[in-house]
Structure 1
Amino acid sequence: ENHTKMLKEEHEVAVLGGPQSSMLPRSTAIHIQSEASVPDHIVWSLFNTLFMNWCCLGFIAFAYSVKSRDRKMVGDLTGAQAYASTAKCLNIWALILGIIMTIGFILLLVFG
């Protein structure tokens, strides 16, 4: 009689699929944010400061790159990303303006 009861319980567990907790998939996600995940564009900013500093955009971009690096050092990755984004935008404008002004200056020398 006891043996029959155990078989009946095992059959119920097999049909019902066991406890609900065993049916849920278990996974663990570990998010590792490294310092390389937020580029500060400091080398590009330094280049623009030295060679493409029209309207001081290169210098301002360099200042934002330094601020981004400072934020990254204290662990504020959101602030670092914001400063890095501004530095990148300023670097793009400094580069575009620098190329246009340099070409214009060369054309002025050649044809003027």
Structure 2
Amino acid sequence: MNAEVVPLQGRFDGPPGYPSAAPTVVQYTTVNITTDPPRDHFIWSLFCFFYGNPLCLGLTALIYSIKARDRKVVGDLDGARHYGSTARCLNIWATVMFFLLIVLPLIIIMSIAVKLSSLHYHYRG
């Protein structure tokens, strides 16, 4: 193994952590973090409005989505984030209620119909 010798640059004033007589230069680094713009959930609100609108939650979610989009255009990101969050909650409720009020009863009715038809076929044959 070859040991590399690297010369020290500058002056060595003692072990690290102890004050030295030489003035120290402090460098500052600025990091700019760009955040993603807040989401307005507009397309989800449109689907909830047109396909599943129990208790007008889809319409309300669509209104809040439009408000969030308007706030984002103006530059009020906190307001857009608030309206977008409200639109997301309303969309979640509209989707859950649509599933519970329409899709789930359809599944139950279809499963009962299949069971009755199989019983009818069994006794007939």
* Smaller-chain TM-score bracket: 0.7 to 0.9
CA distance in 1, matches of 2:21, 2:61: 62
Structure 1 outlier segments of 4+, above 4 Å: 107-111
Query: Higher mean Cα deviation, 82-91 or 100-109?
Result: 100-109
Q: TM-score scaled to structure 1, two decimals?
A: 0.74
CA distance in 2, matches of 1:67, 1:83: 6
Report what 1:27 is aligned to: 29
Q: TM-score scaled to structure 2, two decimals?
A: 0.67
Greater gyration radius: 2
Per-residue CA deviation, residues 4-39 of structure 1 (Å, 9 max, x unaligned), is xxxxxxxxx75216323x1x3421111324xx5211
Residue 65 of structure 1 and its aligned partner are, at CA, apart by: 0.2
CA distance in 1, matches of 2:32, 2:107: 56
Identical positions, percent: 38
Q: Is 1:78–2:78 an aligned residue pair?
A: yes
Alignment partner of 1:37: what SS?
coil
Over aligned residues, Cα RMSD in angstroms? 2.3
Alignment partner of 1:52: what SS?
coil
Residue 108 of structure 1 and its aligned partner are, at CA, apart by: 7.7
For this pair of structures, how many residues does the alignment match? 96
